[in-house]
Each structure stands twice: as structure tokens, then as C-alpha cells.
Amino acid sequence: MNARAKLACLAVLLLLIPALSGAATRLPAPEKFSLKNGITVYYFKSAALPLVSFRMWIRGAGTANEPADLEGVANLTANQMMKGTAKMDADAIAEAVDFLGARLSIGASDEYASVNGESLKEHFPRLLEIAADCLTNPVFKDDELQKERKTRLDSLKAVKDNPGSAVRYYFAKAYYGSHPLGHLANGTEISLPKMTTADLKSFHQKYYRPERGVAAVVGDIEKQALLDLLNKTIGLWKPAGSAAPAAALPPLPKRAGKKLILIDKPDATQAYWILGAPGYPLGDAITPQAVVMNTLFGGRFTSWLSTELRIKRGLTYGASSSFQTWPAGGLFTASSYTKNDKIGEMLDLVFDLMNKAKTGFTAEEIESSRNYILGQFPPTLETNASKATAYVRLMFYNLGFDYYDKYLAGIQAVTGASAKDAAAKLIPQTDYVLVVVGKSAEIKKQLEKYGTWTERKITDPGF
Amino acid sequence: MRKKLFLFVPVILVCSAFVSAAFRKEDVKVHKLDNGLKVLFVEDHGIPNVALYTFFRVGSRNERPGLTGVSHFIEHMMFNGTQKFGPGEFDRKMEFAGGANNAFTSDDMTGYTDWFPAAALEPMIEMEADRMQSLLLDPKVLESERGVIASERRMSVENNNDAILAENVRATAIMAHPYHWDVIGWMSDILSWKREDVLAYYRTYYAPNNAVLILVGDFDGPKALDLIKKYYTGILPGLPPPAVATVEPPQMGPKDVLIRKEAQAPSFEMVFHAPNCTSPEFFPLSLLDLVLLNGQSSRLYKRLVREEQLALNVGGGTQESIDPLLFTISAKPRPGTDLAKLEAVILEELDKVKTQGITESERQKALNAIKSGFYFGLQSINGKATQLGQAEILYGSFENLFTQMDQYAAVTLAQVQEAAKKYFTENNRTVGKLIPQGGVK
């Protein structure tokens, strides 16, 4: 093509830009491929940069399906899948991925395992080959398991040196108890020593199944080239040939009354806390008003929590609240930290705000929250990886590709009354779990007024 | 839209293996106002949002004892009121318009990063221009924000053993240059900054001639420039800020830092003085950093984490900086690890590079990582604004972003080995160890 023709094409394209830019706000519709072995792949071409992103979720291969005594086996299985296959040992896999300048990881979430990969377009075929090899042919070597086990056990010890990290582990255990969502993905000092390569093989065999895979590829790759590549790689993965085991999470725990846990860390100069209570399930009709409400309560910089604790009083660097959702239920959490002698003052403020939330928000606050959510939405689907993740997530949870359109329309429709209802329903008043990690000698007295605390030392085994 | 443009600019690809087809130097429009403010524009209509980034050439490098941490403190105070917009109003107005922001301070720069829907362009430009010139520093708000910074220091340093060690090692390795202290500053300075000193510092460094403005996203270039002229033209330039005169003297022998503290796991860090990013030696050393530390196949990861199992992880490397800073190797030792052994193994690996160099395959691997890292960094309007701003501050011009890849590609194996020999010497080294109290020998 000569230079003049190029310029002509360019001019035509530039004219199209204003008309198209509005459409780019939401998720563009992908093409769908169904591979013979049952894997569904969504594809969207984006050639803005010479990159390709791959995402795949495998239903059931997450922590939710771990045997109760093998907490952490899902994540360890995922980890060990990249530590040796029939063709390559661990070093060869690391070298191959690093040589491409690519990123590849396999990890276990709660209801699924995920494979994330991205690379320059010229390296993508090789990257997908490596990913498919790890997915389908892992060998689970004992020496690799020993190494990783040791690393995980040692990392667990290091977590306790950092109260900001430790509080999350303690909270998960305190809130969920024996529910699978309370499983520590990296295992515990009790479960890790028990795990054998046979456990990993069995978990892999049982839960890694192509017919349970949902994948997406977004980036600078042509459709036919991608199809050929998929058929040569993950398309060759053989279906298990047996009925798939159940994969859904049991309902989340209910909460009646307060549960107060204090973890004594004598060298801490700040006290860290997380408060949690039941939220709402994924896809629930309350979603838009809950999001608008939480944005105001603790979801952004000018939120009530951040304004009262940080902006007005300088008690902390950060204070926030959020919701997490699953089909089986949801969780509300609020968290912050402050120096030891201020923890009582801080928690008083937090409980006051939780109480005040019942009375609702001003019309200006509601409008601001809606604008904020709508204005900050487009960047969440900007990159190849975020689009690919969105395709997989929406299909995995059966939410439909128009989910975000409906969600954003829902946000626009939230009123003061509906946000107030959401606060009344979802901001806990009396039924919650509160975990504090700090120096007991300096904070215990300040905490007594909230109720009876169960106190443990950070050096006690486990969380 | 941008994906189509990709098809029409292949000529440049032939000249350079690295230059991006979809994001080129020519896509960046530059304008300089009479008061010295440099403005970079990149129209990008992929999403209906704009990234407006303001970078000031000020960081902890410009501070002095008694005022350490003040660059970062002003970053916080920039959200706390001007004559026109009262305390907190910047964030309230911005969030009401659908925007969000953050800010960061480093050794060399302070950046204000705003992301908002296209319709909010004018109010955002108005508020950014306003806080460049008329910060209030209300005494009551100043005291409250002082508490926030103290909390940030407690969280990021005092309750984090690796950070305590890193701060001590930096302060030991760097004796004279202001890189001696961390960006957060010393706690006693945080608790005693005086308003008049903070104000004088703000007036010195917050001026249009000491800043660069970057707009990337969904706007019309000429209209955006008109808005910038409308709000920024009236801001008077400041005197050129004083140069940082202190030059770190050569280190004359190895230094050691030992910290004993209650902990479950030890911490370890080894540093060497390293060249600044505009030094010709920076690129070989930076490439070597990837060979030693990038990914699970890197030399130090393989040796320390996989083979000897002395550490849980290892990281660090060079840092792009205006003045010479450090090459850092920080490892998280396993609880109970013999730190002398850990140190010896690292030194052995560095010696291998000094005596045998790196392989061509390692060089190629590093270049692949650099190339993909470059594109990974350009996937969003925010990423583009960040890359442009950092290149502008650190290298003096955004154009460097588009030649950096070629500079890396030109690095030879011999240059890498020479850099290792020159910098990884005993006299140039500081080693820090945090030992759990009552624990490891």
C-alpha cells in the first residue's frame, strides 16, 4: 500500500472514531468457540498493541472442594502443575516462560482454578503450548512438592511478622470457621505436612476437566490462527469420561451476635482490625443499591469511613469497606488500623457511622456515588486481560454478556430510599465478627466496652 | 479504532525492533506555555475517559535534615484545600464528577494522577491549576494530616521488618546525598515540620516551570489546550529550584548493618552504589538486573530459592534515578537460615558474572522481558501517562521512552560484564541483616 492510500484509510478511520467511542464504554460482544472436548472459548480481537491475553477458569478446581483435612491442596495442586510435566521439568518451564518475556500462572480461587497468561503476539503460540502442557500433563514430583511445602510453611511464619497481613488470616478463620471460604489457600502448618503427591494427583484428576473450562482470548491474533492454535493445544485435553463431582459452595455462615477476637502482638505499634458480617449473593437484585451505598460508606476516598477516620482526624492512612459476592452468599467487611492508644476512639467512630448509615444519605451523596461508579467503570474493561477476565467471569457465573449494561442501568436508577434500604439491611448493628491484631497491653482496656474478647497470642500455632 | 491504525504504520518496525506501532513518538503532541509549563497530549479514544497526570520535579532528593519527608507531606496536603476550594473539596468535586485520583512521591518526583470521564475535563484542569499555585496549608488540617503520615510510616516501615532493614541499609550505604533517607522521612521530622517551612518548600518547587502535565485519553487536542491555557497561563513561574549539589563520595570499604528485633523470620539486603539512569552504564546494569532477579528462571532465584532453599523469595535490582542510587538485592530468608551462607551464595553468583559474564541467550531473554514489559505498560491510558511522565522527569524528555528499547538492544555481553566488575565490588557493598531476637546465630 502506498503512502497516499494509507493516509486516505487513516482519514476514514478518524471519522469513525466519535461514533464508535460511546460503544466502547461497555464490554464488546465476543465470538464464541466450542472446542470438541467441551471447553468454551470467547474471542475478541484487539490489535492496539502487539499483545495477547488468555484467561481460563476451571469450575470445581478451587479451595471450595478441598477435603476438610487437606486445606490448601487446591492451590498447591495448581502451583505444582507448573513444576513439571511429561515434557519439561520445573526449571525448563520457568525458563521457557521467562524467555518469552511472558506471564503465566495457575492458581486456585474458591470456586475455580484459573490459568492466566499474556505475552507479545509472536510468543503467544508457544505460551499456550506451555500452558496446555501444564494443564494436561503435570507429573507432581515428590522433590518439588517438598520444596514448595517448605516454602509455604516458612511463609506462614513470616506472615505473623506483619500485623496488616496476619489480621486477614485471623479474620478468615474467625468468620468462616469450617466453611470452605475459611480455607487458607496456602495451607496451614497442620494440613501442609500431610499432603502427598497422590493427593495432588487425585485432586487434579477429579477436578481439572476440559468440559468444566471457560476460556477467553483477547488481543492481536486472527480468528483462524487462534482456532488452529486452540485445537493443537488445550483442544487436545481429553475429557475425564466420568460424571463431574459437585462444585458449588455451601451457603455462607449466618451470624448471630458478636464474636470478638483479640490477637496479642507485643511489638506492634498499631492495632489492625477487620469487621465482617453477611453481605448479599452474586447477581442479587440489591447489587446496585448496595454498591452505591458502600461507595458512600467506605468505598472511596471521600467515604464516611475515610472522612471521619483519616481526613478529619488523621487516625489512619486508610479505612475502607467492601462487599464480596458468590452465588451462595456474600460478605461485608470494614477495616482500618491506628496507633495503639487510639483504637478505642477509632472503633467508637466506626460504630457511630454504622448506626448512622441506617438513616440514609443525602440526595447529593447519592448522585455523587452514582456518578463516581459510572465514571470509574470504563477503565475496568480497558485492557485485553480485563476484557478476557470479564468474559470468563460472566459466563462462569451465567450472568450474560449484558450484565454490565444492566448493572450500570441499575446504578443509574438507585435512589436515596433504595440506598437507605441497602444500608439498613447490610450494615451490621449487633451481629458481626471483629478481629483486632495489636499490642494487648496497650489496647485491651480500650476494647473491653465492646464485649467479651477471646484473646490469643500471635505466637500460638495457627490462625 | 486504534487497532486499525496499527495496520498503517509498519515502516518504523523495520528500523527498530522495538518501536511500538500503535503508540509512537508522533502520537505525543507537545506544547510549552510561556511560564515554562510543558504539556504532553495523547489523544486515545479507546474508553471515554481521560488520564490527567501532573509531575513535579521534586522528591525526597530535594529535602534536607529536619524537613525529611516533606515532599510526601505536601503530596498529601495538596488534597487539603486552596484559597478557592476548601479542605476536601478537590476530592468531593472530583468524585461528584465521576473522577478518582491518587498521588505518589518518590526520591525524584511527585506525581498527581487523575482519572475521570471525558466530561469532567474542565473542572479537573481548573482544580489542578489551582492547587499548583494557591495551597492553603490550614494549620488545623496540617496537624490532622501529620497524624495520617505518622500512621503511614508506622504501617509501611515500623510494622514491617523488611522495610526497617531497607531504611537502615539505605541510610548506611548513602552517607551524604539526600537519598540517605527514605521518601517517608524520619518520624521525628514528621512530628516537627513547621508550617512556614512546608509553605516555603511548596512555593519553591510547585511552579509551572518545575512541572510537566500529561493528558492521555478521550479529548479533543486543541480544545484541551485552550482549557489549559485558560487556567494555567496566569500562574507565575518560580525561580529555578536550587540544584542538588551534594555528590555521594565513593565508599571506601564494605559496610554492615545488623538489627536485632522481635521477629519470626530474618530479613536480608545487599546493596551496591549504582549509576543514575542517564549514565551509559545504567543500561548494562539494568539488563543484568533482569538476568539475576527477574522471574523463577533468574540466576539468584534459582540458586537461593530453588537449589539451596535459603530464601522464600528474592528481588530488587536497579532503580531509575536522577542521581546515582543503589543496586539492591533483597532476599526473604527462611526462618532459621544461616545469613552468612546466604550472603556467600549471593556473592558467589555475582562473582560468576564478573568472571564469566552472561550468555547470549540470557541477554535475549532480558530483551524479551523488556520488550513485553514496555507494551504491558502501555495497555491503559494510565499506563501511557505514567510512562511518559517518568521518562520526562528521569531522562529529561518523554522521547526517551521511544528510544529506550534500542538502548537496551545495543547492550553487549562485554558491557554487562564490565558493569558487574565495576559495581559489584567489596568496597562498594553494604550488607544488612535483621536477626530475630534471641533467634538465629
Whether B329 is covered by a domain: the verdict is yes
Please give the pLDDT value at position A157.
85
Grid cell locating A70:
487437606
Radius of gyration of chain B measured on its C-alpha atoms: 23
Backbone angles phi, psi at B273, to 5 degrees: -60, 140
The C-alpha of A39 sits at a distance from chain B's nearest C-alpha, in angstroms, of 27
Predicted ipTM of the assembly: 0.89
Pairing of strands A432-438, A258-264: parallel
Residue B427 has pLDDT above 50, yes or no: yes
**Are A382 and B263 in contact (CB < 8 Å)?**
no
Length of chain B in terms of residues written: 441
A15: nearest CA in chain B? B1
Q: Is B437 on the interface with A (CB under 8 A)?
A: no
| Residue ranges of B 195-224 with Cβ closer than 8 A to chain A | 218
The SS3 call for residue B194 is coil
Residue at B241 is within a domain: no
Report yes or no on B79 lying in a domain: yes
Question: Quick one: average pLDDT of B196-209?
Answer: 97
Residues B195 and B300 in one domain: no
B422 and B308 in a single domain? The answer is: yes
Min distance A92 CA to chain B CA atoms (Å): 8
In a domain, B246, yes or no: no
Indicate the pairing of strand B311-317 with strand B326-333.
antiparallel
B259 and B170: one domain?
Answer: no
Nearest chain A Cα distance for residue B203, angstroms: 24
Q: Which helix (H) or strand (E) holds B150?
A: helix B139-153
Q: Which of A147, A145, A169 is nearest to A462 (CA)?
A: A169
DSSP A292-348: HHHHHHTSSTTSHHIIIIIITT---S-EEEEEEEETTEEEEEEEEEEEGGGHHHHHH
With an 8 Å Cβ cutoff, is B145 touching chain A? yes
Taking the alpha carbons of A83, A88, A92, A94 in that order, is the dihedral positive or negative?
A: negative
Distance CA A80, CA A72 (A): 12
Tell me whether A301 touches chain B (CB under 8 Å): yes
pLDDT along chain A (463 residues), means of 10: 36 35 66 95 96 97 93 97 97 97 97 98 98 97 96 90 94 95 93 97 96 97 97 94 84 94 95 98 97 98 95 91 97 97 97 97 98 96 97 96 94 97 97 98 97 96 89
Q: Model pTM greater than 0.95?
A: no
Task: Give the separation between CA B51 and CA B224, rounded to whole angstroms.
Answer: 12
Partner residue opposite A162 with nearest CB, options B1, B92, B160: B160
Kindly state whether residues B228 and B272 are assigned to the same domain. Answer: no
pLDDT of residue B438: 56
Number of H helices, E strands in chain A: 16, 12
Determine, yes or no, domain membership for B328: yes
Residue A158 confidence (pLDDT): 84
Q: B151 and B74 in one domain?
A: yes
Residues 353-372 of A with CB under 8 A from B: 364, 367-368, 371-372
d(CA B284, CA B363): 10
Q: In what order do the strands lie in the sheet with B100-105?
A: B29-32, B38-43, B211-217, B49-56, B110-117, B100-105
Question: How far from chain centre, in Å, is Cα B28?
Answer: 22
Chain B contact set for A97 (CB, 8 A): 295, 297
Q: Which three cell numbers stand for residue B254?
A: 564494605
Residue corresponding to grid cell 471519522 = A15
Considering only alpha carbons, which residue of chain A is nearest residue B382?
A379
Amino acid A25: pLDDT: 52
- CATH fold group of domain A258-457: Cytochrome Bc1 Complex; Chain A, domain 1 (3.30.830)
Which H/E stretch holds residue B283? helix B282-293
Residue A67 contacts residue A80 (beta carbons within 8 Å) = no
Nearest CA in chain B to A16: B1
Residue A60 confidence (pLDDT) = 95
Residues B48, A311: C-beta atoms closer than 8 Å: no
One domain, residues B263 and B298: yes
Q: Which three cell numbers stand for residue B324?
A: 546515582
Best to test chain B binding among A159, A311, A312 (most B CBs inside 10 Å) = A311
Q: Considering only residues 20 to 49 of chain A, which have any Cβ-Cβ distance to chain B shorter than 8 Å?
A: 20-22, 24-25, 45-49
Same domain assignment for residues B172 and B288:
no
Q: Which amino acid is at A382?
A: E
Instruction: Give the mean model confidence (pLDDT) for residues B107-130.
Output: 97
- Across the interface, whether the CB atoms of A384 and B5 are under 8 A apart is answered no
A28 CA: distance to closest CA in chain B (Å): 12
Q: What is the pLDDT of residues B381-409, one digit of tens each?
A: 999 999 999 999 999 999 999 999 999 99
Whether residue B80 is predicted with pLDDT greater than 80 in this model: the reply is yes
Q: Which residues of A touch B221 (CB under 8 A)?
A: none
Other residues' Cβ atoms within 10 Å of the Cβ of residue A154: 20
Which residues in chain B are contacts of A24 at CB distance < 8 A? 45-48
Please answer whether residues A333 and A276 qualify as being in contact, where contact means their C-beta atoms are separated by less than 8 angstroms.
Answer: yes
Q: Is the pLDDT of residue B218 over 50?
A: yes
- B97 and B221 assigned to the same domain: yes
CB-based contact (8 Å) between A461 and chain B?
A: no
Lowest mean pLDDT among A28-42, A56-70, B8-22, B331-345: B8-22
Q: Please indicate whether, in this complex, the C-beta atoms of B88 and A266 are within 8 angstroms of each other.
A: no
CB contact (8 A) between residue B3 and residue A220: yes
- Same-domain status, B75 and B181: yes
**Interface A:B, Cβ pairs < 8 A:** 229
How much is the average pLDDT of B295-305? 97
Any domain includes B242: no
CATH topology identical between A27-236 and A258-457: yes
Q: Do A16 and B1 touch (CB under 8 A)?
A: yes
Higher-pLDDT residue of A162 and B430 is: B430
Q: Is the dihedral of CA B104, B110, B111, B112 positive or negative?
A: positive
Looking at beta carbons, which residues of chain B come within 8 Å of A158?
Answer: 264-265, 312, 332, 335
Question: A83: number of CA atoms within 13 Å, CB side?
Answer: 20
Query: How far is A245 from A223, CA to CA, in rounded Å?
Result: 33
Question: Using CB atoms, which residue from A101, A158, A300 is nearest to B368?
Answer: A101
Q: Does B263 touch chain A (CB under 8 A)?
A: yes
Provide the CATH topology of domain A27-236. Answer: Cytochrome Bc1 Complex; Chain A, domain 1 (3.30.830)
Can you give the residue ranges of every domain in chain A? 27-236, 258-457
C-alpha cell at A233: 493445544
- Say if A302 is an interface residue toward chain B (CB within 8 Å): yes
The shortest C-alpha distance from A460 to chain B (Å) reads 12
Does residue B267 lie in a domain region?
yes
Number of domains observed in the structure of chain B: 2
The answer to whether position B9 is within a domain reads no
Q: All 3 cell numbers of residue B376?
A: 504491558
Give me the residue from A10, A48, A316 closest to B3, CB to CB. A48
Asked if B45 lies within 8 A of A313 by C-beta distance, the reply is no
Does B197 share its domain with B326? no
Chain B nearest-CA residue for A6: B8
Task: Identify whether residues B283 and B413 lie together within a single domain.
Answer: yes
Show residues of chain A in contact with B47, CB under 8 Å: 24-25, 378-379, 381-382
What is the residue range of B406's domain?
A: 255-436
CATH number of residue B55's parent domain: 3.30.830.10
